[in-house]
Amino acid sequence: MKHLLFTALLGIVGCDGTDSAGAVPPPALAGAGPMAPCASYVDLPDVFGYCIAQHVGALPNPAAMVSVCQRLGVWQGPCRQAWVLAQRRSGRISDPDLLLAACGPFADCAFEQLDTAPIGGVLAQIDRCETYARPYFADCAGHALTRWVHADPTLAEAEALRLRFTDQPEVLGRFLALAAACSDVGIRCGDGPDRVSYACRTAEAELAGRPQKCRVR
């Protein structure tokens, strides 16, 4: 039965490999193709899944990848992640939205993709963190804010973040303090009683004694 699954996987790869210009010819994939070494592990599901993930990067397009990865059970996420990583590294597919979509519902894959290839400004990135990498939202958004602080933060973005990033006021307050200290576009903590302003003022006081504050990452 398991050997049939492997044969079926190779067959699917062979069919899907035809719809991309310059793709590896189906016979090469089905015969001595990149998945062939995994046949010997078909009786050990974890080893088989890992092995396929090691070789899946050679598949030419998301459809071919999905048709293989979706049959691997708990290894589907690592399989998709391995394919996305391989495309990014090789440059074969560089569209970050396409690669993010290829992660499907797997947050590990999406978090790594978003962190490696941020899309749009800080607000767009935070929206994507929430949509695609929800379990890692705090880290994903924190990294986006770190990049923002050390790039060119604008006053408009700071104000938009106050409206958008409402569920973690202490985190936002700290980054606003950094942005205020490290840019000259008029970002201020504000003197209001709200939690963001308070956290910002607290962080601002802590940062005052740190000469390297704008290099903090």
Residue 174 near residue 186 (C-beta atoms within 8 A): no
Q: What residues numbered 130-159 form the site for another protein, per CB under 8 A?
A: 135-136, 138-139
Q: Does 49 bind another protein (CB under 8 A)?
A: yes
Torsion of CA 39, 112, 116, 128, to 10 degrees: 130
Residue 67 CB, nearest approach to another protein (Å): 22
> Of residues 20, 54, 146, 154, which one binds another protein by CB under 8 A?
54
The residues, ordered by sequence, that sit 6+ positions from 204 with a Cβ below 8 Å of its Cβ are 177, 180, 181, 189
Residue 72 CB, nearest approach to another protein (Å): 12
Residue 43 CB, nearest approach to another protein (Å): 8
Q: What residues numbered 72-101 form the site for another protein, per CB under 8 A?
A: 74, 78, 85
Specify the residue, 40 or 70, whose C-beta has the smaller distance to another protein: 40
> Of residues 108, 115, 127, 130, which one binds another protein by CB under 8 A?
108
Q: Does 198 bind another protein (CB under 8 A)?
A: no
Residue 161 near residue 123 (C-beta atoms within 8 A): yes
Query: Strand, coil or helix: what is 149?
Result: helix
Specify the residue, 40 or 131, whose C-beta has the smaller distance to another protein: 40
CA atoms of 41 and 6, how far apart (whole Å): 10
Specify the residue, 51 or 99, whose C-beta has the smaller distance to another protein: 51
Torsion of CA 155, 161, 162, 167, to 10 degrees: -160
